[in-house]
Structure 1
Protein backbone atom coordinates (compact mmCIF):
# COMPACT_ATOMS: atom_id res chain seq x y z
CA UNK A 1 0.00 0.00 0.00
CA UNK A 2 1.62 3.20 -1.21
CA UNK A 3 0.82 6.59 0.27
CA UNK A 4 -1.30 8.74 -2.01
CA UNK A 5 0.01 12.17 -3.00
CA UNK A 6 -3.54 13.46 -3.50
CA UNK A 7 -6.29 13.95 -0.93
CA UNK A 8 -10.03 14.45 -0.83
CA UNK A 9 -10.86 17.96 -2.00
CA UNK A 10 -7.82 18.34 -4.31
CA UNK A 11 -8.33 19.41 -7.91
CA UNK A 12 -6.76 16.93 -10.30
CA UNK A 13 -6.47 16.38 -14.05
CA UNK A 14 -6.81 12.99 -15.74
CA UNK A 15 -3.64 12.15 -17.69
CA UNK A 16 -4.60 8.75 -19.13
CA UNK A 17 -7.65 6.88 -20.33
CA UNK A 18 -10.86 7.90 -22.09
CA UNK A 19 -11.36 10.95 -19.82
CA UNK A 20 -7.86 12.32 -20.57
CA UNK A 21 -7.52 16.10 -20.11
CA UNK A 22 -10.56 16.55 -17.87
CA UNK A 23 -10.32 18.31 -14.50
CA UNK A 24 -12.30 17.54 -11.38
CA UNK A 25 -12.35 17.54 -7.60
CA UNK A 26 -11.61 14.38 -5.60
CA UNK A 27 -14.72 13.17 -3.76
CA UNK A 28 -13.19 10.08 -2.13
CA UNK A 29 -9.77 8.44 -1.88
CA UNK A 30 -9.09 4.75 -1.26
CA UNK A 31 -5.37 4.41 -0.34
CA UNK A 32 -5.51 0.61 0.12
CA UNK A 33 -6.80 0.18 -3.44
CA UNK A 34 -4.76 3.10 -4.90
CA UNK A 35 -7.94 4.60 -6.34
CA UNK A 36 -9.78 7.92 -6.22
CA UNK A 37 -13.30 9.04 -7.15
CA UNK A 38 -13.43 12.32 -9.07
CA UNK A 39 -16.49 14.53 -9.41
CA UNK A 40 -17.99 14.21 -12.91
CA UNK A 41 -15.28 11.83 -14.20
CA UNK A 42 -15.62 8.13 -15.14
CA UNK A 43 -19.39 8.05 -14.84
CA UNK A 44 -21.07 4.65 -14.99
CA UNK A 45 -24.70 3.56 -15.02
CA UNK A 46 -25.95 1.16 -12.36
CA UNK A 47 -29.26 -0.70 -12.48
CA UNK A 48 -30.78 -0.47 -9.00
CA UNK A 49 -33.61 -2.39 -7.44
CA UNK A 50 -36.47 -0.46 -5.83
CA UNK A 51 -35.76 0.26 -2.15
CA UNK A 52 -37.43 2.34 0.56
CA UNK A 53 -35.08 5.24 -0.20
CA UNK A 54 -35.57 4.88 -3.96
CA UNK A 55 -39.00 3.24 -4.54
CA UNK A 56 -38.80 3.78 -8.30
CA UNK A 57 -35.48 1.95 -8.80
CA UNK A 58 -34.12 2.17 -12.34
CA UNK A 59 -30.83 3.32 -13.83
CA UNK A 60 -28.61 5.56 -11.69
CA UNK A 61 -25.54 7.42 -13.00
CA UNK A 62 -22.63 7.78 -10.58
CA UNK A 63 -18.85 8.19 -10.56
CA UNK A 64 -16.62 5.12 -10.47
CA UNK A 65 -13.12 4.97 -8.99
CA UNK A 66 -10.08 5.63 -11.18
CA UNK A 67 -6.51 4.51 -10.50
CA UNK A 68 -4.39 7.18 -8.84
CA UNK A 69 -1.59 6.74 -11.41
CA UNK A 70 -3.96 8.15 -14.06
CA UNK A 71 -4.37 11.51 -12.33
CA UNK A 72 -2.06 14.41 -11.47
CA UNK A 73 -2.55 17.28 -9.10
CA UNK A 74 -3.29 20.67 -10.68
CA UNK A 75 -0.70 23.37 -9.92
CA UNK A 76 -2.46 26.15 -7.93
CA UNK A 77 -0.46 28.84 -9.76
CA UNK A 78 -0.53 27.79 -13.43
CA UNK A 79 -3.46 25.34 -13.57
CA UNK A 80 -1.28 22.71 -15.25
CA UNK A 81 -0.54 19.18 -13.98
CA UNK A 82 2.36 18.87 -11.56
CA UNK A 83 4.07 16.32 -9.35
CA UNK A 84 3.98 16.65 -5.58
CA UNK A 85 6.87 16.75 -3.11
CA UNK A 86 6.98 17.05 0.65
CA UNK A 87 8.93 20.04 1.97
CA UNK A 88 9.90 20.38 5.62
CA UNK A 89 9.48 23.90 6.96
CA UNK A 90 11.60 25.62 9.58
CA UNK A 91 9.18 24.73 12.40
CA UNK A 92 9.40 21.03 11.50
CA UNK A 93 6.03 20.62 9.77
CA UNK A 94 5.87 18.98 6.36
CA UNK A 95 3.88 20.64 3.56
CA UNK A 96 2.81 19.25 0.18
CA UNK A 97 4.36 21.41 -2.53
CA UNK A 98 3.91 21.60 -6.31
CA UNK A 99 7.15 20.67 -8.10
CA UNK A 100 6.54 23.05 -11.05
CA UNK A 101 5.86 26.29 -9.14
CA UNK A 102 7.13 25.51 -5.64
CA UNK A 103 3.84 26.74 -4.12
CA UNK A 104 2.35 24.99 -1.10
CA UNK A 105 -0.89 23.13 -1.72
Structure 2
Protein backbone atom coordinates (compact mmCIF):
# COMPACT_ATOMS: atom_id res chain seq x y z
CA UNK A 1 0.00 0.00 0.00
CA UNK A 2 1.38 3.37 -1.00
CA UNK A 3 2.10 6.03 1.59
CA UNK A 4 -0.62 8.32 0.18
CA UNK A 5 -3.25 5.61 0.43
CA UNK A 6 -2.09 4.74 3.94
CA UNK A 7 -2.48 8.36 5.05
CA UNK A 8 -5.94 8.50 3.48
CA UNK A 9 -7.05 5.32 5.24
CA UNK A 10 -5.65 6.64 8.53
CA UNK A 11 -7.67 9.86 8.15
CA UNK A 12 -10.85 7.94 7.31
CA UNK A 13 -10.46 5.54 10.23
CA UNK A 14 -9.60 8.29 12.71
CA UNK A 15 -12.59 9.00 15.02
CA UNK A 16 -14.22 12.40 15.08
CA UNK A 17 -12.90 14.15 18.19
CA UNK A 18 -16.06 16.23 18.55
CA UNK A 19 -18.07 13.00 19.08
CA UNK A 20 -15.72 11.46 21.63
CA UNK A 21 -16.88 11.34 25.23
CA UNK A 22 -15.48 14.16 27.32
CA UNK A 23 -14.23 16.16 24.33
CA UNK A 24 -14.87 19.88 24.63
CA UNK A 25 -14.32 22.55 22.03
CA UNK A 26 -11.86 25.28 22.80
CA UNK A 27 -13.73 28.07 24.61
CA UNK A 28 -13.54 31.58 23.17
CA UNK A 29 -11.02 33.91 24.82
CA UNK A 30 -12.27 36.06 27.65
CA UNK A 31 -10.41 39.05 26.24
CA UNK A 32 -9.80 39.70 22.55
CA UNK A 33 -6.28 41.03 22.18
CA UNK A 34 -6.41 41.22 18.38
CA UNK A 35 -8.69 43.76 16.68
CA UNK A 36 -9.18 44.92 13.11
CA UNK A 37 -6.18 46.92 11.87
CA UNK A 38 -3.57 45.22 14.09
CA UNK A 39 -0.36 43.82 12.61
CA UNK A 40 -0.05 40.12 13.46
CA UNK A 41 2.22 37.20 12.65
CA UNK A 42 1.48 33.48 12.18
CA UNK A 43 3.17 31.64 15.06
CA UNK A 44 1.94 28.07 14.43
CA UNK A 45 4.96 26.20 13.07
CA UNK A 46 2.85 23.56 11.31
CA UNK A 47 0.89 26.23 9.44
CA UNK A 48 2.02 26.70 5.80
CA UNK A 49 2.05 30.48 6.31
CA UNK A 50 4.30 30.33 9.41
CA UNK A 51 6.26 33.55 9.96
CA UNK A 52 4.20 35.76 7.65
CA UNK A 53 2.96 39.12 8.87
CA UNK A 54 -0.01 41.21 7.80
CA UNK A 55 -2.79 43.52 8.91
CA UNK A 56 -6.04 42.13 10.26
CA UNK A 57 -8.94 42.80 7.92
CA UNK A 58 -11.79 40.93 9.63
CA UNK A 59 -12.23 39.37 13.08
CA UNK A 60 -14.88 36.62 13.17
CA UNK A 61 -15.47 36.23 16.88
CA UNK A 62 -18.27 33.68 16.53
CA UNK A 63 -15.86 31.23 14.87
CA UNK A 64 -12.69 32.47 16.61
CA UNK A 65 -11.08 33.14 13.24
CA UNK A 66 -9.23 36.09 11.69
CA UNK A 67 -8.67 37.18 8.09
CA UNK A 68 -5.21 38.71 7.55
CA UNK A 69 -4.25 40.75 4.50
CA UNK A 70 -2.12 38.81 1.93
CA UNK A 71 -1.81 35.81 4.28
CA UNK A 72 -3.22 32.31 3.71
CA UNK A 73 -4.22 33.03 0.12
CA UNK A 74 -6.21 30.49 -1.87
CA UNK A 75 -7.84 30.51 -5.32
CA UNK A 76 -11.55 31.24 -5.45
CA UNK A 77 -13.79 30.96 -8.48
CA UNK A 78 -16.03 33.99 -9.07
CA UNK A 79 -18.98 33.19 -11.35
CA UNK A 80 -19.92 35.39 -14.28
CA UNK A 81 -22.51 38.13 -13.79
CA UNK A 82 -24.39 38.98 -17.03
CA UNK A 83 -26.07 41.98 -15.37
CA UNK A 84 -22.70 43.68 -14.80
CA UNK A 85 -21.11 42.25 -17.90
CA UNK A 86 -18.33 40.48 -15.98
CA UNK A 87 -16.85 37.14 -16.93
CA UNK A 88 -16.04 34.22 -14.67
CA UNK A 89 -12.56 34.37 -13.21
CA UNK A 90 -10.35 32.83 -10.57
CA UNK A 91 -8.81 35.20 -8.02
CA UNK A 92 -6.58 34.74 -4.99
CA UNK A 93 -8.38 35.62 -1.76
CA UNK A 94 -7.48 35.41 1.91
CA UNK A 95 -8.81 32.52 3.96
CA UNK A 96 -9.43 32.81 7.67
CA UNK A 97 -6.90 31.68 10.28
CA UNK A 98 -7.69 30.47 13.77
CA UNK A 99 -7.21 33.07 16.47
CA UNK A 100 -4.76 30.89 18.43
CA UNK A 101 -2.31 30.75 15.48
CA UNK A 102 -1.61 34.50 15.60
CA UNK A 103 0.21 36.91 17.86
CA UNK A 104 0.55 40.68 17.79
CA UNK A 105 3.76 42.13 16.37
CA UNK A 106 5.91 44.18 18.71
CA UNK A 107 6.22 47.70 17.21
CA UNK A 108 9.79 48.04 18.55
CA UNK A 109 11.38 44.69 17.71
CA UNK A 110 9.12 43.60 14.84
CA UNK A 111 8.73 40.10 16.33
CA UNK A 112 5.54 38.43 17.60
CA UNK A 113 4.85 38.94 21.27
CA UNK A 114 2.36 38.18 23.97
CA UNK A 115 0.78 41.14 25.71
CA UNK A 116 -0.53 42.28 29.05
CA UNK A 117 -2.90 45.08 29.96
CA UNK A 118 -2.34 48.04 32.24
CA UNK A 119 -3.81 51.47 32.93
CA UNK A 120 -2.18 54.84 32.34
CA UNK A 121 -2.36 57.74 34.77
CA UNK A 122 -5.45 59.14 33.03
CA UNK A 123 -7.25 55.79 33.38
CA UNK A 124 -6.81 54.69 29.76
CA UNK A 125 -6.46 50.94 29.31
CA UNK A 126 -3.54 49.99 27.01
CA UNK A 127 -1.82 46.87 25.70
CA UNK A 128 1.79 46.30 26.77
CA UNK A 129 4.23 44.08 24.87
CA UNK A 130 5.88 41.44 27.04
CA UNK A 131 8.90 41.37 24.71
CA UNK A 132 9.93 45.05 24.85
CA UNK A 133 7.49 46.66 27.28
CA UNK A 134 6.25 49.07 24.60
CA UNK A 135 2.66 50.20 24.33
CA UNK A 136 0.74 48.68 21.41
CA UNK A 137 -2.03 51.18 20.66
CA UNK A 138 -5.28 50.01 19.14
CA UNK A 139 -5.73 51.25 15.55
CA UNK A 140 -8.53 53.72 14.92
CA UNK A 141 -9.88 51.64 12.04
CA UNK A 142 -11.33 48.99 14.39
CA UNK A 143 -13.88 51.52 15.70
CA UNK A 144 -15.19 52.27 12.21
CA UNK A 145 -18.05 50.10 10.89
CA UNK A 146 -17.16 47.64 8.17
CA UNK A 147 -18.53 48.54 4.72
CA UNK A 148 -18.64 45.74 2.18
CA UNK A 149 -20.49 44.63 -0.91
CA UNK A 150 -21.32 48.18 -1.95
CA UNK A 151 -21.70 49.05 -5.63
CA UNK A 152 -20.75 52.63 -6.46
CA UNK A 153 -22.17 54.12 -9.63
CA UNK A 154 -20.23 56.92 -11.27
CA UNK A 155 -23.04 57.93 -13.64
CA UNK A 156 -26.28 59.43 -12.34
CA UNK A 157 -29.61 59.28 -14.18
CA UNK A 158 -30.96 62.38 -12.45
CA UNK A 159 -29.29 65.65 -11.60
CA UNK A 160 -32.30 67.67 -10.48
CA UNK A 161 -33.00 67.48 -6.73
CA UNK A 162 -36.75 67.86 -7.30
CA UNK A 163 -36.76 64.79 -9.53
CA UNK A 164 -34.79 62.79 -7.00
CA UNK A 165 -37.18 63.48 -4.11
CA UNK A 166 -40.38 63.41 -6.17
CA UNK A 167 -42.90 60.78 -5.03
CA UNK A 168 -43.58 58.64 -8.11
CA UNK A 169 -45.16 55.63 -6.45
CA UNK A 170 -48.93 55.36 -6.91
CA UNK A 171 -50.56 53.05 -4.45
CA UNK A 172 -53.20 50.61 -5.68
CA UNK A 173 -56.00 49.54 -3.38
CA UNK A 174 -56.92 45.90 -3.26
CA UNK A 175 -60.28 44.43 -4.23
CA UNK A 176 -61.23 43.91 -0.58
CA UNK A 177 -60.35 47.50 0.28
CA UNK A 178 -62.61 48.76 -2.54
CA UNK A 179 -65.47 46.59 -1.26
CA UNK A 180 -64.91 47.89 2.27
CA UNK A 181 -65.00 51.51 1.10
CA UNK A 182 -68.18 50.83 -0.89
CA UNK A 183 -69.82 49.23 2.14
CA UNK A 184 -68.89 52.20 4.33
CA UNK A 185 -70.38 54.64 1.79
CA UNK A 186 -73.59 52.61 1.69
CA UNK A 187 -73.87 52.66 5.48
CA UNK A 188 -73.30 56.41 5.58
CA UNK A 189 -76.00 57.00 2.95
CA UNK A 190 -78.49 54.81 4.82
CA UNK A 191 -77.81 56.72 8.05
CA UNK A 192 -78.37 60.05 6.30
CA UNK A 193 -81.65 58.81 4.83
CA UNK A 194 -82.83 57.64 8.26
CA UNK A 195 -81.96 61.00 9.79
CA UNK A 196 -83.82 62.88 7.02
CA UNK A 197 -86.86 60.61 7.38
CA UNK A 198 -86.96 61.28 11.13
CA UNK A 199 -86.79 65.04 10.58
CA UNK A 200 -89.65 65.00 8.02
CA UNK A 201 -91.92 62.96 10.29
CA UNK A 202 -91.57 65.55 13.03
Match for residue 142 of structure 2?
A: none
Aligned equivalents of 1:18, 1:104: Cα separation in 2? 30
Q: Which has the higher contact order (CA 8 A, sep 6+)?
A: 1
Distance 1:21 1:54 in 2: 40
1:14-54 CA-partner distances (Å, limit 9, x unpaired) = 11101001111111111221111111111111112112456
TM-score norm. by structure 2 comes to: 0.49
User: Which structure: greater strand fraction?
Assistant: 1
How many residues are aligned here? 105
> Who is 2:108 aligned against?
77
Shift >3 Å, 4+ stretches = none
CA distance in 2, matches of 1:54, 1:34: 37
Aligned to 1:90: 121
> Is 1:42 the counterpart of 2:45 in the alignment?
no
Please list every run of 5 or more consecutive structure 1 residues that lacks an aligned counterpart in the other structure.
none
Distance 1:82 1:53, change over 3 A: farther
Cα RMSD (Å) of the superposition?
A: 1.5
**If the length of structure 1 is used for normalisation, what is the TM-score?**
0.90
Structure with the larger helix share: 2
